[in-house]
Amino acid sequence: MLAVPTEYYLALSAILFTIGVIGVLIKRNPIVIFMCIELMLNAVNLTFIAFGRHFAQINGQMYVIFVMAVAAAEVTVGLGIIVAVFRTKDTIDVDEVNLLKF
Amino acid sequence: MNGASHIASSLSAILPILILMGTACVALMGDVFIWKRQRALTGIVALIGSVWALVVNLQQILGYGSSEPFSGSLVYDSLSQTTSLVLLIATVLSVLLAITYLRNRGLELGEYHVLLLFSASGAMLMGAANDLIMLFIGIEVLSVALYVLAGIARTEERSEEAAIKYFLLGAFASGFLLYGIALVYGATGTTNLQQINHLFSAKASITPILVAGIGLLIVGLGFKAALVPFHQWTPDVYEGAPTSVTAFMAAAAKVGAFAAFLRIMNAFMPVQPAWITAIQVLAILTMVFGNLLAVVQDNVKRMLAYSSIAHAGYVLVAVASTGMIYRHAVLYLSQGDRAAMFYLLAYVFMTVGAFGVLVLLSRSGKDYQTMNDLKGLARTHPFAAYTMMFFMLSLGGIPPTMGFLGKWLIFNAAISAHQVTLAIVMALASVVGIYYYLRVVWMMCFQEPEGAPATEHPVNDWAARWSVIVSLAGTLMFGVLPALLSPIMTGLYH
């Protein structure tokens, strides 16, 4: 059986993480921004699993469970805040909310 | 040690955190099911719980124990106990402020105090984390509750805007922090900070993946601690969030982030060349830009936000001069760590006090926010004006206040750690800082009030008044008699 080298997984997760970062910086809809943040977190999960396999440890996979639980909590709060913003402003576009002045 | 006694000793080591979490659950259930219409009771319960946790924490400090609960994923030592002490003081003061502020603004929501307690327990977990994953959990418990708190005034556009800004940038930053943790895990094969320290003490090998990991950790924590150039969210969020939330956010999030900074940087002490330059550059940028941008602000809350950025820069100088020593498995805090903890306590008293005065001035009709609102305050609200004056003098670092002493300790620590450039930049930046703090004093004491004095109904604001008085007492007492803190912060662990 041909094993995929760890470096391949790391490269893939680095690319996914970068796509997520770029998405956060250029997108204007907070829901899409939030999806990009989730992409970043899942890229990190891939890194954890790849390293866990590399070291033959169970830790890497455990960390992913932690991260997924925390991400779920963040989604709940985040979507709630987005709904609250929509109720007060009737828009969620970040330019209208005057956001992210990088 | 068998399993049951290990768990029992682990639980007793984190008792203050458990008390806060337990109180939060009781307050939540009570608010929903028992005292449905008596919203003020939730605040009282939260106050009792946090004072109780503070007492237990003081007992632990005077008990001089140290252990590693939960198989080494947490650590219970002088640093975590002192962090808990600073955080619990901030929590008690913030709960007091909130009781008055929520009543004045008609926002009496039980969940406010519940979220505040959860958030504080997250920050305490950060101070006690001995494992990078525990650190991540702590930072998220702290932040997720703070996102909601920032938007707690549901009908106000500014509050909601602050919440969504804080949420999006905070989640973005945790992505970086997490990637940093993953890379450090890859470089070392463990996330336990003590094991990382032992590993590098045996063989200090700096690999690109380690440098990238540490860099991303610094970026992630830098967002939370509001360091320049990761500070853009700070003024907007501090201004938009309700004032009592801003007071807590400015205190707790920063203390938690710096406790984590001290832990991480001490674990990576053997590979100091990999990170010291980054910390130095960030400290200089933060001190210079924090102070310069604060000068041009007309809104007091915004000014205090930039001032909190500048103070983060001063604490970062202490982080750059850190270097804890493990001797016989007991942690000895270095001069830099002790200076950082002393300064964080001073910062909590000054900042919560200054925001507390703004809370005291807020009435349902009017929110005191701009410099013009403060004109002639000494005549219309003498108590608020004169307490504010002391907080401004302390923030500016003028003796005999705690702010001065904290700066002096950090300056000394930086000199003895050979960080001379940082010490000089710090001294120069503080001089700029004095200008905008004294401007507030000048507005309050030497300007005529604008417009006709508004007729105000006398309101019952005992809670905020006590919070301000305690902050003032701390600022002055420990500024004159720092020896009072010595069993806790200075002499003992040396």
Q: What is d(CA A6, CA A49) in angstroms, rounded to the nearest whole number?
A: 10
Mean pLDDT for all residues in chain B: 88
CB atoms within 10 A of CB B458: 5
B147/A66 touch (CB, cutoff 8 Å), yes or no: no
Mean pLDDT of B125-129: 93
Secondary structure element (H or E) that encloses residue B79, with its range: helix B78-104
Helix B462-480 × helix B78-104 angle, to 10°: 150
B3: confidence class by pLDDT, cuts 50, 70, 90: confident
Amino acid at A9: Y
Q: What is d(CA B231, CA B446) in angstroms, rounded to the nearest whole number?
A: 33
Substitution target in A85, A91, A102 with the highest count of B β-carbons within 10 Å is: A85
Contacts of B310 (CB under 8 A, 6+ apart): B286, B287, B290, B291, B294, B429, B433
Q: What is d(CA B177, CA B217) in angstroms, rounded to the nearest whole number?
A: 5
Residues comprising chain B, all counted: 494
Please report, in angstroms and rounded to a whole number, the separation of the first and last CA atoms in chain A: 48
Task: Find out whether the peptide bond into B400 is cis, omega within 30 degrees of 0.
Answer: yes
B485: confidence class by pLDDT, cuts 50, 70, 90: confident
Q: What is d(CA B370, CA B451) in angstroms, rounded to the nearest whole number?
A: 15
pLDDT in tens, B348-376: 999 999 999 999 887 655 667 778 888 88
The beta-carbon neighbor of B154 closest among A67, A73, A84 is A84
Give the SS3 label for residue B277.
Answer: helix
Substitution target in B141, B185, B199, B219 with the highest count of A β-carbons within 10 Å is: B185
DSSP A90: S
The alpha-carbon gap from A18 to the nearest alpha carbon of chain B, in Å, equals 11
Q: What is d(CA A31, CA B226) in angstroms, rounded to the nearest whole number?
A: 24
The beta-carbon neighbor of B167 closest among A41, A78, A87 is A78
Secondary structure element (H or E) that encloses residue B326, with its range: strand B325-327
Dihedral sign, Cα of residue B200, residue B189, residue B334, residue B329: negative
Substitution target in B179, B183, B207, B236 with the highest count of A β-carbons within 10 Å is: B179
A60/B185 touch (CB, cutoff 8 Å), yes or no: yes
Q: What is d(CA B259, CA B264) in angstroms, rounded to the nearest whole number?
A: 9
The beta-carbon neighbor of B185 closest among A48, A73, A77 is A48
B174: confidence class by pLDDT, cuts 50, 70, 90: very high
Q: What is d(CA B107, CA A54) in angstroms, rounded to the nearest whole number?
A: 53
B475: confidence class by pLDDT, cuts 50, 70, 90: very high
pLDDT in tens, B51-83: 999 999 988 888 777 788 888 889 888 888 889
User: Which tops the pLDDT comparison, B351 or B334?
Assistant: B351
- pLDDT value at residue B272: 86
Amino acid at A73: A
Judged against a pLDDT cut of 80, whether residue B11 lies above it is answered with yes
Q: What is d(CA B369, CA B61) in angstroms, rounded to the nearest whole number?
A: 39
Mean pLDDT of B238-244: 91
Locate the domains of chain B by residue range: 3-489
Locate the domains of chain A by residue range: 7-89
C-alpha of B148 from chain center? 18
DSSP B453: P
Q: Is B167 exposed, middle or buried (0-12, 13-18, 19+ CB in 10 A)?
A: buried
- pLDDT value at residue B494: 38
The alpha-carbon gap from A1 to the nearest alpha carbon of chain B, in Å, equals 25
Lowest model confidence (mean pLDDT) among A86-95, B237-246, B276-285, B400-409? A86-95
B-chain residue closest to A40, CA distance: B175
At CA B307, angle to CA B301 and CA B308, rounded to 5? 90
Q: Which residues of A touch B186 (CB under 8 A)?
A: 10, 47, 51, 54
The alpha-carbon gap from B172 to the nearest alpha carbon of chain A, in Å, equals 6
Please report, in angstroms and rounded to a whole number, the separation of the first and last CA atoms in chain B: 30
Q: Which residues of B touch A30 (CB under 8 A)?
A: 164, 168
ipTM above 0.90, yes or no: yes
The strand pairing partners of B332, in sequence order, are B325
Contacts of B383 (CB under 8 A, 6+ apart): B360, B465
- pLDDT value at residue B345: 94
* Residue B175: HSE in the Cβ half-sphere, 13 Å Cα cutoff: 28
The alpha-carbon gap from B179 to the nearest alpha carbon of chain A, in Å, equals 5
Secondary structure element (H or E) that encloses residue B479, with its range: helix B462-480
CATH of the domain spanning A7-89, picked from 1.10.287.3510, 3.40.1080.10, 1.10.940.10, 3.50.50.60: 1.10.287.3510
- pLDDT value at residue A97: 65
Substitution target in A77, A92, A101 with the highest count of B β-carbons within 10 Å is: A77
Token digits for B348?
């909590």
- pLDDT value at residue A100: 40
Q: Which residues of A touch B190 (CB under 8 A)?
A: 59
The alpha-carbon gap from A3 to the nearest alpha carbon of chain B, in Å, equals 19
Helix (H) and strand (E) counts in chain A: 3, 0
Interface of B with A (CB under 8 A): 133, 136-137, 140, 144, 147-148, 151, 154-157, 160-161, 163-165, 167-169, 171-172, 174-175, 178-179, 181-183, 185-186, 189-191, 232
User: Which tops the pLDDT comparison, B378 or B19?
Assistant: B19
A81/B160 touch (CB, cutoff 8 Å), yes or no: yes
Q: What is d(CA A2, CA A15) in angstroms, rounded to the nearest whole number?
A: 23
Low-confidence ranges of chain A (pLDDT < 50): 99-102
The fraction of chain B above a pLDDT of 70, given in percent, is 92
Q: Is B332 exposed, middle or buried (0-12, 13-18, 19+ CB in 10 A)?
A: middle
pLDDT in tens, B195-213: 998 899 888 888 999 999 9
DSSP B454: P
